[in-house]
Structure 1
Amino acid sequence: MSAANDNSSRKARASLFTTTWFNLGWSRHVPATGLAVLQPLVLHGPLSVEELGRHLIPSPQAPDLGWESTAWEPLEVYTDESLQELRAEFEDTPFATGPDEPDTAEGVMAEEARLRQERMDEIDRWSRELGVEPVRTLRHLLEFLIAAGVLTTTGTGEGALVQLNETAPLPGEVLTLSDEDRRFDDDLRWQQLHESTAQALIDLFVPGEASTTTLTTSLQRLARQLDLAVESVRAGVLNLLNDGDFTASVDVERLLDHQVFELTVDWEKFRSSRITIVHGSHD
């Protein structure tokens, strides 16, 4: 295969990975070490189980034991001092400490251990439903991903060929999710679907020294500016309104295409609430 074709294939695999892991929502329902299994398949394409085992990217905080490496990242160990430094670093960001979080390192570690156990119990339940072993090692995680349809295999044993599934299911199609998780997944997929439009809308604002900037416009005008359908623009505006840093002067869901309205951004809230959406990042 030529270098150009190989690069094109890798880009296609990377796009498929992004769709499966992020857009479909599998990143929320699989341990983070799922990346150790999936990333080599993005870089190299289909691999046998044996070959994949040689390309695994296990946690740098845990021993590299190949397929027997832990499927769970070691929990952080804090001191009161290191915890305060971490909280100061993330002050005024979406990751800032909430009012109900423990005050001490001991309390934080106990809470993280509780949440980890809840997570493991949940994935253990899904493993039983899928007919595979509880996820403790990367080999268990591979079996889980295959049983869930995230990956496909051809053949058996160590020589079985593993690859990303081009038609991976939604998590809720194969896992028993709570109603709350289903709603969260649906909302997240909707936001991701319209994120590029939301970013394009952000670029229409020019940050100044004032804390807020207002754009007086209509859905039709925005559609012409962005070369998009009116309903795509409406969805993009609704996406922006989710985090509280953008406000609209009208109910955007009921807004007529030609109706003039004001879209306002609070830049102070914007800076503290948005990490991944950056001015100009969609280009």
Structure 2
Amino acid sequence: MSVDQDTPHSNDDGYLSLHNGWFASGWPSYLPQHQSMALSMLFGTASVRELRGTVDEVLAQIFRDGEYGAFFGKASDFLDSPVLWTDPDELDYAETEEEKAQLRVEAEEHQARCEGLLRAAGIPVPTTIRELVDTMVALGIASQPNGVWTMPNPLPGPESVLPLSDEERARIADSRRIWEGGPAEQALIDYLEKILHQPEEVFTSVDRLAKSINLSEGDARHALGRLFREGEARFERGAERAQTLLEDLKDHERFHLVLDWQHFNEHRITIMRG
């Protein structure tokens, strides 16, 4: 399993791990969004630490002080709290009662649609967070082979379980292309982070970089383009260090790869227990 985390894990650290494929999977659009993400973090952390036991026991192992804080959404929420299909933050930001009413109507319609899809697939429809655990296990998002919690990589998508329309399948595919940088991007990030230790810049070329991380020049360009589009890198050339476009660089031409690690660290998904 691949997870987002920012420190080496141990059985007693305070960090939570979120599966890299959670958002790209498409499940946030078909499950109670905030609570399913919290459970994905719970499953991910249990997988990384190779935890055993019931969900109650896993929570006790992760939150040893017994205080979940607002892990499930509100400080008062726990496993037997009801699932929420309405986004509380959206309601808080709504400026008028009419907007709030419209948001509630849309949430009810969305809930009815998702619950109908779950029933059609023979999957239990959750009414509490505890039941949502069972739903996510039934969907194949997490499991306990030999008693140890684990998550598959990649995660099964909604289109592999639910009877979705062609339009919904196309929408998931489009969203997934946005979320998934692919192995080339991850290889480049691993090289910059773990081998070069987050340098401010690298003087290189596309072919040199590709050779360093065992990629084709095309895959290296794709990965560099992803960093540029995310606002995490730019390309400069010449004595005046003029910014240039990736498509204007030939594979052998040297350039300065300038990296914005502050932007990277602030916007890449890393969940940490405070």
TM bucket by the smaller chain?
0.5 to 0.7
1:95 match: none
Answer yes or no: is the 8 Å Cα contact 1:24–1:189 preserved in 2.
no
2:82 match: 70
Equivalences for 1:252-263 in 2 at 5 Å? 256-259=250-253
* Deviation at residue 166 of structure 1 after TM alignment: 3.6
Most deviating of 118-127 and 53-62:
53-62
Distance 1:192 1:120, change over 3 A: farther
Q: Which has the higher contact order (CA 8 A, sep 6+)?
A: 2
Distance 1:139 1:235, change over 3 A: same
Of 36, 57, 63, 1:34 maps to 36
1:219 match: 206
Is the counterpart of residue 151 in structure 1 residue 142 in structure 2? yes
2:241 match: none
2:133 match: 142
Q: Distance in 2 between matches of 1:120 and 1:193?
A: 37
Q: Does the residue aligned with 1:121 lie in a helix, a strand or coil?
A: helix
What amino acid maps onto 1:164 in structure 2?
A: T
Of 74, 90, 109, 1:61 maps to 74
Q: Distance in 1 between matches of 2:81 and 2:98?
A: 28
User: Structure 2: any 5+ residue segments left out of the alignment?
Assistant: 1-8, 236-243, 270-274
Superposition RMSD in Å = 4.8
Answer yes or no: is the 8 Å Cα contact 1:23–1:192 preserved in 2.
no
Distance 1:48 1:240, change over 3 A: closer
1:180 match: 171
Q: Distance in 2 between matches of 1:153 and 1:222?
A: 40
Query: After superposition, what is the alpha-carbon deviation per residue over 1:244-276, rounded to whole angstroms, capped at 9, x for unaligned?
Result: 785853637xx75225679899x9xx9999941
1:210 match: none
* Deviation at residue 33 of structure 1 after TM alignment: 0.9
Q: More helix per residue: 1 or 2?
A: 1
* Deviation at residue 219 of structure 1 after TM alignment: 0.9
User: Structure 1: any 5+ residue segments left out of the alignment?
Assistant: 1-6, 84-101, 156-160, 207-214, 279-283
Distance 1:28 1:204, change over 3 A: farther
* Deviation at residue 74 of structure 1 after TM alignment: 5.9
* Deviation at residue 60 of structure 1 after TM alignment: 5.1
Q: Distance in 1 between matches of 2:257 and 2:20?
A: 30
Query: After superposition, what is the alpha-carbon deviation per residue over 1:188-245, rounded to whole angstroms, capped at 9, x for unaligned?
Result: 12268615636949x6666xxxxxxxx9963124446x65535342122220343578
Of 267, 276, 279, 2:267 maps to 276
Is the counterpart of residue 236 in structure 1 residue 236 in structure 2? no
2:272 match: none
Q: Distance in 2 between matches of 1:21 and 1:186?
A: 13
2:6 match: none
Distance 1:21 1:190, change over 3 A: same
Q: Does the residue aligned with 2:143 lie in a helix, a strand or coil?
A: strand
Q: Distance in 1 between matches of 2:227 and 2:60?
A: 43
* Deviation at residue 143 of structure 1 after TM alignment: 2.4
Q: Distance in 2 between matches of 1:217 and 1:40?
A: 40
Q: Distance in 2 between matches of 1:54 and 1:8?
A: 16
Q: Distance in 2 between matches of 1:204 and 1:53?
A: 37
Q: Distance in 1 between matches of 2:130 and 2:250?
A: 54
Q: Distance in 1 between matches of 2:160 and 2:117?
A: 12
Q: Distance in 2 between matches of 1:34 and 1:143?
A: 11
Of 249, 257, 267, 2:245 maps to 249
What amino acid maps onto 1:148 in structure 2?
A: L
Q: What TM-score, normalized to structure 2?
A: 0.57
Answer yes or no: is the 8 Å Cα contact 1:130–1:148 preserved in 2.
no
* Deviation at residue 133 of structure 1 after TM alignment: 3.4
> Could you tell me the percent identity over the aligned residues?
17
Most deviating of 130-139 and 143-152:
130-139
Distance 1:168 1:234, change over 3 A: closer
Q: Distance in 1 between matches of 2:145 and 2:215?
A: 42
Q: Does the residue aligned with 1:124 lie in a helix, a strand or coil?
A: helix
* Deviation at residue 152 of structure 1 after TM alignment: 2.2
Answer yes or no: is the 8 Å Cα contact 1:198–1:239 preserved in 2.
no
What amino acid maps onto 2:178 in structure 1?
A: D
Q: Does the residue aligned with 1:194 lie in a helix, a strand or coil?
A: helix
